[in-house]
Structure 1
Amino acid sequence: MPHPADAIDVIAPNFKARMSGVTSTVFRLVPIQAETMRIATSGPNIPPEIPQIPAASLPTMSRRRRVWHARRNNEMLAGIALKRLLRKDLKLVFTSAAQRDHKKLTKWMIRQMDHVVATSARSASFLEVDAQVIHHGIDVARFAPVADKGALRAELGLPQDKLLIGCFGRIRPQKGNDLFTDMMLKLLPERPDSVAVMMGGVTDGFRDFHAGLVDKVKAAGLEDRFLFLPEDPHWDVSRWFKALDLYIAPQRWEGFGLTPLEAMACGVPVVATRAGAFEELVQDGKTGTLVDIEDLEGLTAATARLLDDADLRAAWSLNARAHAETRCRIEQEAEALCSIYRTLLDQT
C-alpha cells in the first residue's frame, strides 16, 4: 500500500530485510495506527497491505514537520542524518528493548532523540535518559482460545488426546531450549499423557545446538513424545498456541518476549523465567509461575505442579485470558504511541 511521502505525518522505518521481533512489531502496529493517523513504514520486503513509502523518497520529501520512530541503531542514524544534514523538520522517537549497557555511539544517538520509549521497566533502567515505558501488546482477537482444541490439533498434526507443553521461538542457548529439553526429559517418563512441542527456526550458527537436543531426546527414547517442529511457514503462530495446555518460556536472556503473552491470550498458563519483560507480563500465581533464570529445579517443579493439577490449569487459563484482554491489547500500545506522535507534531 504505497503512499507519497508528503502525505505522511509519521514514519516508522523498518530497515531489516529478514523477519525479526522488531519487524513483526512494526508490521503489527502500523496498520492499526493508520486507522487514526497518517503513518507509514519504509524499508525492504514490506508486505503490500502495510502502509509504506519508498525509501528512495525520504531524502526528497518536503521539510514540513514529521515524526520519525526508530527501533534500531541504523534507523536512529538515518533519522539524525535526515534532520541534521538534509534539514528535515523531524521529531525523533526511539524505542529501546535492550537490557544491557549501550555502546557510546548508541548512547549519543539516544541523546539526540526527542522522546524515548522503553518496552519494559528493566529496559528503561539501562538508559541514561528519561524513557516512557510502553509494553508491547498483541491482537487478542487472533490470539484467543479455540472452541474445539481437538479439531485444531488434528488440523496441525498434533496429538489430540494428550497434554501439550510448548516452547516456541528461535532455537538457541539464550532462549533456554536446552533447559526445556532437560526438564521435559525428567517429567515425561512419569507422565505418559504429556507431550512436549518445541517449535522454531534454526539459523546456521545453532544447528549443532539443535542437533544436540534432538540426539538427547532420541537417547532417552522419547522422540515420539518430544516433537521438534519448524517455524510456521506463514508466520502465524496463533494456531499453535491455541493447541497447547501449558507454555514454557525458559529464556536466559530476552529483549521483551511476546510468547508468554501470546500464550496467555490463548488461555494457556505460563511458566517463565524472570527474563525480558516476563515479570511485568505474567501474574505470578494467577496466570502462571515465575522462576529465576537458569533455575532448572524451579522450572521443573512449577511445570510438574501445573501438569498434575487440572483444576489449577483451568483456573489460571481463565485468569490468563482475562489479563491479556484487559491489559495487553495491541490497541493500547498503538494508542500510547500515537499520543506521543500527536504531542510531538503539535510542538512549536
Structure 2
Amino acid sequence: MKLNRPWWQNISLTGQTVTEHIVDDPVQLALQVSRRLPAGSRGALGNTVAKLAGERFPSVAAIGFEAAGERANAERSIDSAVADASLADADFSTKRSANKLAHLADVALSLGDADRAEALIESVPAEARRASWFAVAARIALYRGDHDGAVEFASRHPRNAHLAQRMLGEQAVFAGYVPELPAKVGYSPVKGRVMHVLTNSLPHTSSGYAQRSHSILKSLVEHGYEVEAVTRPGYPVQVGVAWAAGEDEIDGIRYVRLLPARLGQGLRERADQQAALLAEEVRKFRPAILHTTTHFTNALAVGAVARAFGIPWVYEVRGQLADTWASTRGLKALESQRYLEFSARELDAALAADAVVTLGENMKRQLVAGGVDEAKISVCPNAVGSPFIDEPPTKKDARAKLGLDDELQLVGTVSSIVDYEGLDLLIRAVALLAPEYPQLRARIAGDGVALPGLKVLAEQLGIADRCDFPGRVARSEAIFNHAALDVFVVPRKDLTVTRSVTPMKTVEASAVGRPVVASRLPALEELVVDGETGALFAAEDEHALAQTLRGLLDDPERAAEMGENGREWALSTRTWAANAATYENVYERLVG
C-alpha cells in the first residue's frame, strides 16, 4: 500500500501540539518527552539532568528526579528551593521572584501534589501575581476538577488568552455542549459497511484498547462486514508520530487519520471539527452503521454525524474514564465539577446511542442503574484470538526464546505500568518471599509513568537483582512473556475504576495456561474463578499477596492445573469469534 504522508499538515500539527503544551503545561510536556525515551535510559538521563541542574535550577532538578522515578528527591528539590533564604526574603514585587514560585508550583503539580502547588502560589501577594501565576492557578483548578475556577483564573491576564480559550472550550463540552450538523439529504448507505471511530489504534499505540479495536475489526471482516476505522483528529501526530501517514493498513484493516493543518482551539471547537471531518469520511465510505468507544467526546461527534446522515450508531463503553481521572486525585475528586459532569456526559452518550456495548456485567449494571435500557445493552468481554487460541508455547520454549533461566520461579505481568495497577505491591510481596525462595524473580513487562518508581522501590527493598523490567514488548512477543511466567499477577488497587473495568491481560494469561493471581475486586472476579483458574487475594495487602503466591510456588502441580482450567475457560467463553456473533446481532437489530 502506498503511504500518503501529509507532511505539511503533520509539521503544522506538531508545532501546534508543542506550543499548546508549553502554554498549557510546560512541566508536563518535559515529563511526557522523558517518558517516550527507552525505559533503560530514562533513569540515567533524569539523574544526569538533576545533577547538572543542582541547586541553581531546582525546578529542572525536580523534573529530572521525577523522570528517574525518584519522587522523594524531587520533592526535596522543591522544598530546598522554597526554604532558600534568598527566595524566602525575596521582594515579590520583582517579576523574577514571583515567577520562580510559580514554576515551583508547576513542578509540584506535575508530581500530583496540588496542595503543595496551591500553598506555593498563595504565598505570592496579590499585587505580585502576574500571567505565570494565573496560568498555574488555572492548571491547579483544572487538576482539582474545577472547570469554572480554571476559566476564571486563565481569563484574568491578557497574556493567557490562548489558555483561557482552551479552558472555556473544555468547560463548555463538559457542561453539555453538543455539536450539530445540517441534515445530509439523499444519503444512501451501503448495507454491511460499518465505520468504527477510535481514540487511537495500531500501529502507533499498542495498548489493550488498540488491540481490542483491531481484534473486533478483524472478526467483523471474517463475518462478512466491510469495515473502516477512523481515529480522532490529530492522532497520531499529537502523540509524537510526526511522520504519520494519512492511512495505515494492518491485516487488511484500513485506518484513516484525520490530520488537518490545525486543530480547533479548545475542546468545543475540536468537537465541531471532529464532526465535520468525520462527516466527510462517512460521505466517502457510506457506512450503514457508526460505532464508537469511550470517552464521550467521540460520542459527541459520532452522534452528530449519525443524526445528520440518518444512520444508527453504537456506543461501546470500555471503561469509566471519569473514575480513571479521579483515581490519582483522592476521594475529593469524586465530588468535583469535572467528575460529576464527566459521569453525566458518559451517561448521556449511552442514553443517546441506538445500542450500547460494554465489557462486563458490573459495567452493564452501572449503566442500567443510570437509566440505560437494559434491552439495548450487549456485553462483549475482552477476548482472545490467534495466536492466543493456538497451542501456546511451553514455559521452557518461551524462556529459551526470551533468554531466561529455566530454573527460575517467575511471577509477574505484561501490562501498562500505571499507579492503579498496584505493581508496587508485587515488588513488596516478592521482597517478603525472597529469603525463602532463592530462585524467585519478578518480571514486569511493559512501560508507563510508574515504571521508574518501581525500579527505585526494588532498589530500596534490596531486590533489584530479583526484578526484571524488559520494558515495552512487541505484540508478537507478548505471548512468550505470558508463557514464561509461573504465575501471572494482577495486583490492582481498590479504586472505583478498578472495581468496574475488566482488563484484557488476565484473559490472555489464562489462554496460554497460566494461573492468574488477582486482587479481589468485582471486575476481576468476573475473570478469575477463585481456586479453579487462579486465586484472589485481599486488594492492597502485600502479605495476602505473598501468602497466595507462596501457595502456588509450593504446589506447582496445583498451579499447572489452574492454568489448564484457565485455558479451557478462555477458549470456551472469551474468543473474538464469539464476540463477533454478538456484534452481528447488534448490527442486524439496528439495520433490520
Q: Take 2:546 and 2:283, find their aligned partners in 1: how far apart are those partners?
A: 57
Distance 1:196 1:53 in 2: 37
Q: Is the 8 A contact 1:247 1:270 kept in 2?
A: yes
Equivalence for 1:137? 383
SS at match of 2:384: coil
For residues 78 and 151 of structure 1, the distance between their equivalents in structure 2, rounded to whole angstroms, comes to 48
Q: Distance in 1 between matches of 2:290 and 2:591?
A: 11
The answer to whether the aligner puts 1:113 opposite 2:353 as a matched pair is yes
Unmatched tracts of structure 2, length 5 or more:
3-188, 237-247, 259-276, 324-339
| SS class of match (1:281) | coil
Structure 1 residue 195 corresponds to structure 2 residue 458? no
Map 1:162-311 → 2, pairs under 5 A? 162-202=408-448, 206=449, 209-234=450-475, 236-252=477-493, 253-254=497-498, 255-275=501-521, 277-311=523-557
Say what the alpha-carbon RMSD is for the aligned residues: 2.5
TM-score, L = length of structure 1: 0.87
2:216 maps to 29
How much has 1:6 moved relative to structure 2?
5.2
Q: Which moved more, 1:209-218 or 1:49-58?
A: 49-58
User: Are residue 16 (structure 1) and residue 200 (structure 2) matched?
Assistant: yes
Alignment correspondent of 1:70: 292
> Contact between 2:359 and 2:380, CA under 8 Å: does it hold in 1?
yes
Contact 1:166 1:248 in 2 (8 A): yes
Q: Is 1:42 paired with 2:230?
A: yes
User: Which residue of structure 2 aligns with residue 103 of structure 1?
Assistant: 343
Give the Cα–Cα distance (whole angstroms) in 2 for the partners of residues 8 and 52 of structure 1: 16
C-alpha displacement of 1:162: 1.3
What's the offset of the Cα at 1:236?
Answer: 4.1
Shift of 1:134: 2.2
Instruction: Work out the CA distance in 2 between the residues paired with 1:190 and 1:145.
Output: 34
| Inter-CA distance 283–247: structure 2 relative to 1 (3 Å threshold) | same
Query: 1:331: which partner in 2?
Result: 577
Structure 2 equivalent of residue 345 of structure 1 = 591
Provide, for residues 4-51 of structure 1, a one-character-per-residue CA deviation record: whole Å limited to 9, x for no partner: x95862111223265232222111110121122222222256443342
Instruction: Please say which structure displays the higher CA radius of gyration.
Output: 2
Conserved? CA contact 1:140–1:324, under 8 Å: no
SS in 2 for 1:179: helix
Equivalent residues, number:
336
TM score, norm. by length of structure 2: 0.53
**Could you give the per-residue CA deviations for residues 36-92 of structure 1, whole angstroms, max 9, x where no partner exists?**
2222222256443342364554252487x71111112232122111123xx213211
Alignment partners' CA distance in 1, 2:435 and 2:583: 48
- Please give the alpha-carbon distance, in whole angstroms, between the structure 1 residues aligned to 2:285 and 2:486: 53
Q: Aligned equivalents of 2:386 and 2:251: distance in 1?
A: 20
- Residue 327 (structure 2) pairs with residue 125 (structure 1): no
Equivalent pair of 1:145/1:265 in contact (CA under 8 Å): no
Cα distance, 1:279–1:47 mapped onto 2, change above 3 Å: farther
Q: Is the partner of 1:237 in helix, strand or coil?
A: helix
* 3-state SS, counterpart of residue 94 of structure 1: strand
Which AA in structure 2 matches 1:42? V
More helix by share: 2
> Greater RCO between the two (CA within 8 Å, min separation 6)?
1
Distance of 1:230 and 1:274 partners within structure 2:
27
